[in-house]
Amino acid sequence: YRSFLRTDGSSLHLKDSEFPDVTNGEPISGYGIPEAGYWIVENCVFGKTTGYADVIDFTGGKLPGPVPQFLYNRFLGGSDDGLDLDGADAYIEGNWFSNFHKANGSDSESHAVATGVYNGVSSNISLIRNVFLNNDHDLLLKEWSSAYAAHNTFVGSRLGSVSFMELVRRTQPPVSLEMEGNIFQDTKVLHALSDALVLNPKISVRIDSSLMPEMWHAYGSGNVSGDPAFVDLVGGDVQLKAHSPAIGIASLGFDAGAEVPSGVAIGGNQVKGVAVGRQLDIQVGGAGIHSYRYRLDYGDWSATMSVAQTLRLDEMGDGWHHVEFMGQNRAGNWLDLPEQIRKVDWLRSNETTPIRFSEVFAHSVPWHDDAIMRSEFVELVNLESVRIVLDDYSISDDARNPSKFQFSPQSLVEARQRFVVGAGSVHSDQGFELPFGLDNKGEGLYLFKRVGDVHQLVDHLVYGRQIPGWSLGRDPQGAWRLGAPTPGFGNQIARMGETETAWVSEWATSGDSNHDNGFIELSNESDYPLDISQWSLQLTPKFLGAGISIPRLSFMAPHETFLLKPHDGLVESLPVSQREVGGLMLSDGEGRVLDHMAFFNPVPDTSFQREGAPAGYLWQRSQTPSFILQNTIFPEIVIYEVMADNRDTMSPWSTFCDWVELRNEGQTAIDLSHWALTDNPENPSKFVLNGHEDLLPGEVRLVWLDGNAPPHRWNAGFGLKARGDQLWLVDLTDALKPRFADGLVFGWQTPDGSLIRHSENQQWHLGRPTPGTPNELHRMGSVDALRINEWMAKPEQGEDWLELVHTGQEPVRMDGFMLSDDPQIRNSFTFPPLSFMGTGLFGFWVGEALGQGAEEFQLPFKLSGDSDSIFLFDPSGDIVDRVDYGAQTRGVSMGRVAGMLDGMVPLAEGGTPGKRNRQDTDGDGFSDEWEITFGMDPFMPEAFVQDTDGDGMTNKDEFNAGTNPLDPSDRLEMHSLSFHAYGISFGFQVKSAQSYRLEGSSDLREWQSLWDVKPMKTQRTVHATLEFPETALIRYFRLTTE
């Protein structure tokens, strides 16, 4: 019989040793421990045994005396038991037991750990934070023994993790088994329990807060099922992935399983070691911790307290206090080393507060079926055990303005209760409503308490990108985590995905016509959300340019692809390179590289794209940024026609508003109740079509886009910008992941044309407006008639501006044309796709020249008032037109007039942006052209007050109204005028090129705009009926024109 070590009534501390495989005998055996002694085996590796031999066989050692301790060892297997502990109260923590399988001729079974009786004394063992892998049995509990097992991981037991009897031997039953916070990956959890119950019906078995098959849940509470999601079980890593269902299910918010911290842990109303309030309530626990002591302000340690006892301190003086906690494990050892002590700094004062933020929901889903998801909210909690009056509290999203939301007088919150400040009564029982919105791209949120005249900051949260339908909530340790919205109830922390599921799917390395400074597209292939806090994107090599970091508490949704763009509220800039060769590196918050995309010879207006996965083939082709279309090769509903500058078709409520037509391209009727229109991808449910009948196959449905009228069945409640905008058709079937089924982004629109789909290639073209009838392509003209027409380089007020004119007979497409004041930088401003210029009255384009800080559709250069040049380039970079000018007169524009294609002359004071250029040689306020047309002398000032035709309108009025000063029947007037209880009906003659406004007043002193008509290309009679609210009190009306 051979052993490496044998002890008898001796102390032993064996550590950092390695034992080989043995073929005869047990490597270590022992009996008994001296009264003041110890018996510890720590951080050793044990090879396999053969035959009827245990790895360690120990007998004796009972509490409250010293007990055998097995700490952080690795047992590689054997043919009998790993630890055979008869009559021993052993403490077993942090070990790895694997490959114990019976391979002997005895009638016993094989176990990683076995208990038993010796001279009438049974075992009572503690199993803490151990891993059991691929054993016949992990634990044998027999012969009136007991066991407590917490935070262990059990995987691959062949016969059953916990055995209550050796069936062949018919061993005696145990007394009790208590388990909490464990993971059982397999279905075989308890073995031979029914046989043992026959012999001892009073066996107590309790399993709580563990992950195991549902069939065993009835043995306790708080249990869950599912795949534990180990990081790398084959490689020996049983840490949990972020989406594991075992995360946070145990006491104090601990994860289940072996990978939890050792030693004492604290919960309660402290947050990361800091507590504020009139009293301190702390729950103490930890894996294997049985009791604890505390001390206040570096005084004496308290008497021993059970972890079942919550510590409450409330009789201290005001000010800062320091509280320390020391734990005692189930072996009776006090963990008193400095690194094992837990600490809390507590500020006790009447000027501090127990009110804290608990949950923030910043990205609502307005179209969701669940009312809770439709609007934002902030949840707070009263950590105190008494009712709190909220009169002095306020919330703000601006730390410099603490009183944005002030709780109303006499507002109360009960002890230990949560309360909600939201966007309506759905969230707040007390009617607390935020007067400001929460930015889902990230911002700060601040809680103040007023003390005297000072607002003291008592809590705050700064977060980054939020995802639809998910909230931020504090976990039991006070850390902010992603979760499900639960206003008024305990926070539900979300399972999270793994970083390896994220990759760079597309990257535009430099600016282009759609994205001035490029873009980066990230994709998450996981079924779970990702925490992308402080992820970085860096050019490689690093000398190519600076990188960026994504703000803290930023997230990606499951299977989401999202776009990073400069100045989008999340980041201010992107890594952009003009180099021919380089790379882009994506790293997580700990600096681990997640992805690396190389680039070479970037081509303008293209991007680098991957197909399917990070390892997919890299293409360089036309850009497809993520929020554009998804799964739309054969969309069932399409946007059929869009009018963004309507001057012809009047809505049922008498406005010339924008409109869109939708068409069903499929073979079956489509329920529109989960479809929406929006001009903002960040708000996909801006107008839900849930008031519409089903759209039949081939049917075209018109929806008005009137931003000056409230949304209703036929009106989306928003309009489009004729200078350039976007429109999206969104499928909201999946409330948390809207699908952009169709859409377009367009540039400058001409009033005499709509955007239509070509019937053959489905591409967008300019069309003639045909609401309610089939689309009709507009004939296109030549760009040869494009010219720089007028500019204002030295305005009296406002910004510089520049005007282009098209003098051809048909509209022209402006995509890719460029404007600049520097021939070396031709693309200072580039017309975006789907930009058009009309003809005649609508043959003008005007752009403000703002220089630095210019926004979309504005020129990023200024015009010098001394001298300068202006260039117009075609898409290939060839010069289409150029003007050079000298010193300018303030308030006077320069431009071409009829018959002068090359020469430039000063024009009328203030200029004529967007209209035909005119000179006023005599300075009388009438253009030379108008005076010549009506027989007046352009070199002799005409009196403003003259009424040549005697119709009651002066010549100046006739000039401004576009009427004939020689025809008394041609005058500005309303006809067919009638009043009714709810408004007014009227008609009048519209002159070409004139804009009109109907104004109303109750006292003839203050006038308000009621109705507007933009210039039309042809003369026509307009009839309108306008309705006003009863409270408007409008008694007088007037029609103005210019």
Write the secondary structure of 680-745 as one string of H (helix), E (strand) and C (coil).
Answer: CCCCCCCEECCCCCCECCCCEEEEEECCCCCCECCECCCCCCCCCEEEEEEECCCCCCCEEEEEEE
Residue 300 belongs to domain with CATH number: 2.60.40.10
Q: Is the pLDDT of residue 825 over 80?
A: yes
How far apart, in whole angstroms, are the C-alpha atoms of residue 1037 and residue 978? 12
User: Is residue 1022 located within the same domain as residue 907?
Assistant: no
Query: How much is the average pLDDT of 872-885?
Result: 90
User: How far is the C-alpha of 362 from the C-alpha of 438, rounded, in Å?
Assistant: 5
Query: Distance between CA atoms of 418 and 429, rounded to whole angstroms?
Result: 11
Q: For position 576, what pLDDT does the model report?
A: 54
Q: What is the largest CA-CA distance in the chain?
A: 135
Measured between alpha carbons, how far is 399 from 379 in angstroms, rounded to an integer?
19
CB neighbourhood size of 397 (10 A)? 17
Lowest pLDDT segment from 219-223, 424-428, 511-515, 571-575? 511-515
Assess contact for 143 and 125: CB atoms under 8 A.
Answer: no
Distance CA(846)–CA(916), nearest Å, equals: 12
Q: Where are the beta strands (DSSP E) in 769-826?
A: 776-777, 786-792, 800-806, 812-813, 818-820
User: Do 234 and 119 reside in the same domain of the chain?
Assistant: yes
What is the DSSP annotation of 651-671? Answer: PTTS---EEEEEEE-SSS-B-
Task: Determine the pLDDT at residue 1031.
Answer: 58
The domain boundary, picked from 326, 348, 370, lies at 348
Amino acid 956 reads: K
Q: What is the mean pLDDT of the chain?
A: 85
Query: Residue 650 pLDDT more than 90?
Result: no
| Rounded Cα gap, residues 722 and 454, in angstroms | 49
CB atoms within 10 A of CB 348: 20
Q: Give dist(CA 1000, CA 1034) in Å, integer.
A: 6
One-letter amino acid identity for 971?
R
In what helix (H) or strand (E) does residue 460 lie, and over which residues does it extend?
strand 454-463
- The confidence band for 396, taking pLDDT boundaries of 50, 70 and 90, is very high
Residue 450: beta bridge partners? 455
The domain spanning residue 649 has which CATH number?
2.60.40
Same domain, yes or no: 27 and 158: yes
Q: Are residues 64 and 143 located together in one domain of the fold? A: yes
Residue 534 has pLDDT above 70, yes or no: yes
Is the pLDDT at 351 greater than 80? The verdict is no
Q: What is the pLDDT of residue 451?
A: 83
Task: Please give the single-letter amino acid code of residue 668.
Answer: T
| Mean pLDDT along residues 300-307 | 94
Q: Give the pLDDT of residue 634.
A: 44
Instruction: Report DSSP state, residue 381.
Output: E
Q: Give ∠ CA 297-303-307 in degrees, rounded to 5.
A: 95
pLDDT at 71: 97
Whole-angstrom distance, CA of residue 430 vs CA of residue 715: 34
Residue 551 belongs to domain with CATH number: 2.60.40.1260
Is there a contact between 449 and 393 (Cβ–Cβ < 8 Å)?
yes
Same domain? 687 vs 829: no
Distance of CA 654 to the CA centre of its chain: 40
Top pLDDT among 277 and 874 is at: 874
501 phi and psi, to 5 degrees? -85, 0
Q: Do 187 and 306 reside in the same domain of the chain?
A: no
Q: Is residue 962 part of a domain?
A: no
pLDDT value, residue 581: 58
pLDDT number for residue 274: 64
Q: To the nearest whole percent, how much of the chain has pLDDT over 90?
A: 37
- Domain count of the fold of the chain: 7
Name the most confidently modeled range: 52-56, 497-501, 511-515, 917-921. 52-56
> What is the structure's pLDDT at 635?
56
The amino acid occupying position 725 is D
Give the pLDDT confidence score for residue 899 in this predicted structure: 46
Confidence label for 484 from pLDDT (cuts 50, 70 and 90): very high
739-773 pLDDT, tens digit each: 888 888 888 899 879 999 876 667 889 999 999 88
Lowest mean pLDDT among 714-723, 758-767, 774-783, 1005-1014: 758-767
Select the highest-mean-pLDDT range: 150-154, 443-447, 505-509, 1034-1038: 150-154
Is position 936 within any domain? no
Would 966 be classed as within a structural domain?
Answer: no
Same domain, 61 and 170: yes
Query: Is the model's pLDDT at 459 over the cut of 90?
Result: no
Choice between 511 and 743, residue whose per-residue pLDDT is larger: 743
Backbone φ/ψ region at 914: left (φ over 0), alpha (ψ -120 to 50), beta: left
CA 338 – CA 331 distance, rounded (Å): 20
What phi and psi values does residue 487 have, to the nearest 5 degrees?
-60, 125
Q: For residue 984, what are the β-bridge partners?
A: 979, 1026
At residue 426, the pLDDT reads 60
Pull the structure tokens for residue 602. 């970037």
Q: By CB neighbour count within 10 A (0-12 exposed, 13-18 middle, 19+ buried), where does 6 fall?
A: middle
Q: Output the pLDDT for position 513.
A: 45
Structure tokens at 423: 């966007």
The predicted pLDDT at position 9 comes to 94
536-570 per-position pLDDT tens digit: 887 765 555 556 788 899 999 988 888 777 666 56
Q: Does a structural domain hold residue 206?
A: yes
**Is residue 259 in some structural domain?**
no
118 and 175 assigned to the same domain: yes
Q: Is the pLDDT of residue 368 over 60?
A: yes
Q: Give yes or no: residues 471 and 551 share one domain.
A: no
Among 212-226, 405-419, 631-645, the minimum mean pLDDT is found in 631-645
Using 50, 70 and 90 to split pLDDT, how confident is the model at 78?
very high
Mean pLDDT of 654-677: 90
What was the pLDDT predicted at 628? 43
C-alpha dihedral (759, 715, 658, 679), degrees to nearest 10:
-80
Alpha-carbon distance of 167 to 191, in angstroms, equals 10
Domain boundary among 713, 744, 777: 777
Q: What is the pLDDT of residue 1041?
A: 86
Say if residue 159 is in the same domain as residue 82: yes
Same domain, 739 and 848: no
Please report whether residue 631 resides in a domain. Answer: no
Domain boundary residue among 493, 517, 542?
493
Residue 782: helix, strand or coil by DSSP? Answer: coil
Tokens 């500058």: give the residue.
645
pLDDT band at 829 (very low <50, low <70, confident <90, very high): confident
pLDDT at position 273 over 80: no
> What DSSP designation does 644 have?
S
Residues pairing with 293 in the sheet: 326
The tens digit of pLDDT for each residue in 184-211 reads 999 999 999 999 999 999 999 999 999 9
For residues 295 and 312, give the distance between their C-alpha atoms in angstroms, rounded to a whole number: 12
Range of the domain at 489: 355-493
Does 236 score more than 60 pLDDT?
yes
Torsion of CA 854, 858, 860, 866, to 10 degrees: -110
Query: Confidence class of residue 678 from pLDDT cuts 50, 70 and 90?
Result: very high
Query: For the range 991-995, what are the long-range contacts, defined as Cβ-Cβ under 8 Å and sequence gap of 24 or more?
Result: 991/961, 991/962, 991/963, 991/1019, 991/1041, 992/841, 992/962, 992/1016, 992/1017, 992/1018, 992/1019, 993/841, 993/915, 993/962, 994/961, 994/962, 994/1041, 994/1042, 995/1041, 995/1042
**What is the rounded (10 degree) CA torsion for 750, 751, 753, 755?**
70
**Residues above pLDDT 70, as percent of the chain:** 88
Rounded to whole angstroms, how far apart are CA atoms 331 and 820?
A: 81
The whole-number pLDDT of residue 272 equals: 60
1021 within some domain: yes
Q: Give the pLDDT confidence score for residue 485 in this predicted structure.
A: 93
398 and 327 together in one domain: no
Residues 6+ apart with CB under 8 A from 649: 643, 656, 659, 769, 771
> Is the separation of the CB atoms in 356 and 272 below 8 Å?
no
- The confidence score (pLDDT) of residue 480 equals 93
More confident residue, 367 or 397: 397
Residue 645 located in a structural domain: yes
When pLDDT is averaged across residues 503-511 and rounded to a whole number, the result is: 72
